Every structure is written in structure tokens, then in C-alpha cells.
Amino acid sequence: MAPEAWPRRQRAAGWWLVRLVEVAIGMWVTSVLVAGLTLAPWPEVVLAATAYQALLTLARRALAVLDGVDRALAERALDVWSDSSEWLYISMAGTWWVFRLAVHGALRVGLLWAVVQALGTIGLSSRLEGFWPTIAAAVVLFAGAGLVRFLRLVAMALLMRSRRSQLSWSVAELPLTALALGGGVLLLPGVELAAGLSVQLLTVGVLATAITSVRLELSVPFLVLPSTFATNALKLWLVGLLSGWMTVPLRIDGLLSLTALALLVTALAWPAVRARRARQARQQALDAMTQHQQMMEMHQKA
């Protein structure tokens, strides 16, 4: 039986278990890559992942009000745009995006720290030492679970004919970003990643997931490519800083190396970014058409 045919509660429980497996693997990846985190045996990893996922699910429900603010901001954007004050809208949307990202990031950091400290308090070997290692661990956990989710979705699309249509250029953004990071390590002076092929590949995959998961893109046509390059440079700089607390840090020496790596990431991933934006535009147009039809039907009934 396909998951779509399951009863609602059974389907919700099934997807929660899938997310739990993703978080557990992401927790293990975090314990491998972040030097300040200790989660030795697999039972501790599973216990920590279960507690973290349960608390995160509850916190997400409590923060559901942010989605309402997002919709209100989108509705306000139409009025602002009609007044030809696009820069005001850009500043409003950017400020709200940063605030929302900070709230969710602080939530994940706090929950991970609380879970690991609680396990250590009851006598287990779990340890998470230091402020910056805690932030690095939260980012790696988020990216590690996202990488596992991406691999699962690609595998399902390859194995199930009904989902093969989901494979497109937009799906290639993460692999292309990982390829750009690996190419930068091999080709660009001043971009280094410590030795150890298996850990290198895992680190590149996690960092590429972190870079592609956080998006801030402008809808103004002539600013799309420059804003993509600028945000890629900023994310690479932040990733380079946080990776200093990882067992295999990504070292980017100097502004020239950072600029070259950002150009490489932007150039390689640009076809996938364009495909994703085009797909989003088609979906938005379809949603707008559906909403218009619903409003017309309601008006005719009235």
C-alpha cells in the first residue's frame, strides 16, 4: 500500500519515524564531524535523536504563528510593490527573513544543547562543550539530516516511476554545489580541506547541504545573479568559520580565494538555480490561477 493511502494518523506517524531516522543519521554524522560533541554508542545517538525530534516537533507547532506572519508579509508586499517602493519591500522581507532564520537557528541550538546536557546528567557519555562547537553541531545536524533526506528522495524517485518526474535540474543544485566545493579544494589556491577521503566527502556533502538549504534570493530580475553570488560568498564565509570547530575544517584564506570559490559555486549551480526558480514560478502561477478560480466560484454561488 502506498503511503498516500494510509490513514491520516498512521501516515503522520510513519513520516515522523522517517524524520527520526534522518535525524539519527544526522546526529551520528555530527558526532563524527564536530570535535566538541561526544555521542559514543548508537543507543545514545538514537536516544538523543528521539528526544531532539520530539522537542523540535513541539516547538515547530508553537512557532506556527510565523507562517501566518509570512502570509501577511506577502500580502503587504503586493501593496508596497504597487506603490513602486520595491526597495522598501526588499528591506522588510530581508529583515524578516533574518529574524525568522535567527529564531529557528537559536531554537535548534538550544534544543540540541539541552538534549545532550540532559543525557550527560543521567550518567551517559554524551558531551557538548563550548558555545561555538554547539552552534557548529546544530548546523551540521541540520545539514546532515537534510543530506540524508535528499538522498532518500532521490532514491525514491529512481525506484518509483510515479516520482521520476521530480528529477530535474532543480534537484541537481546540491550535487553541483558539492562538486564546486570539491573542485575548489582541488583547484583553487587558498582553499584547503584536511586529508582523509571518506571524511572529506562527508564534510563536502554536509557543507553543500548547509549552503543550499538557506536561501535568500531577490525577485528583481537584474539582481538575481548578483544576489546569488553575494549570498553564496556570505554563506561560504560563515561555513568556513563554523567548520573551524569540525574535525575536517574548510579553510578559505583571503578575500580572493573566497571570491573565486563563490564564483565557482555560483557558476556550476546556476542552471539548477534557474530551473528551481522557474519551477517555483510555475507553481506560484498555478496556485494563483487555482485561487482565482475558487474566488470566481464563490462569487457565482453568492
pLDDT digits (tens, 9 = 90+) for 74-112: 555 545 554 445 566 666 666 766 777 788 788 888 999
Q: What is the pTM of this model?
A: 0.77
| Domain that includes residue 34, residue range | 1-165
Residue pair 243/206 in contact (Cβ under 8 Å)? The answer is: no
User: Looking at the structure, do residues 183 and 237 belong to the same domain, yes or no?
Assistant: yes
DSSP track, the chain: --GGGS-HHHHHHHHHHHHHHHHHHHHHHHHHHBTTEE--SHHHHHHHHHHHHHHHHHHHHHTTHHHHHHHHHHHHHHHHHHTT-HHHHHHHHHHHHHHHHHHHHHHHHHHHHHHHHHHHHTT---EE-SHHHHHHHHHHHHHHHHHHHHHHHHHHHHH-GGGGGG-SGGGGHHHHHHHHHHHHHHHSTTEEE-S-HHHHHHHHHHHHHHHHHS-----SGGGHHHHHHHHHHHHHHHHHHHGGGBSS-EEE-HHHHHHHHHHHHHHHHHHHHHHHHHHHHHHHHHHHHHHHHHHHHHHHH-
Q: What is the mean pLDDT of the chain?
A: 79
The last residue of a domain, from among 165, 195, 227: 165
Number of domains comprising the chain: 2
Given 165, 195, 214, the domain boundary residue is 165
Nearest CA-CA partner of 207 in 112, 272, 143:
143
Helix-helix angle 254-301:224-242, to 10 degrees: 120
The one-letter amino acid code at 142 reads F
Residues 178 and 103 grouped into a single domain: no
* Averaged pLDDT, 165-176: 72
Same domain, 183 and 90: no
Looking at the fold, whether 6 and 126 belong to one and the same domain comes out as: yes
Same structural domain, 143 and 209: no
Domain co-membership, 156 together with 7: yes
pLDDT, mean of residues 57-70:
69
Q: Write down which residue in 165, 188, 216 finishes a domain.
A: 165
Q: Are both 179 and 130 inside the same structural domain?
A: no
Q: Do 99 and 226 belong together in one domain?
A: no
Are 259 and 136 contained in the same domain? no
**CA quadruple 73, 270, 162, 24: dihedral sign:** negative
Same domain, 188 and 282: yes
pLDDT-based confidence at 17, cuts 50/70/90?
A: confident
**Residue 287 clears pLDDT 90, i.e. is over it:** no
One domain for residues 41 and 172: no
What is the mean pLDDT of the segment spanning 63-83?
A: 55
Do 159 and 15 belong together in one domain? Answer: yes
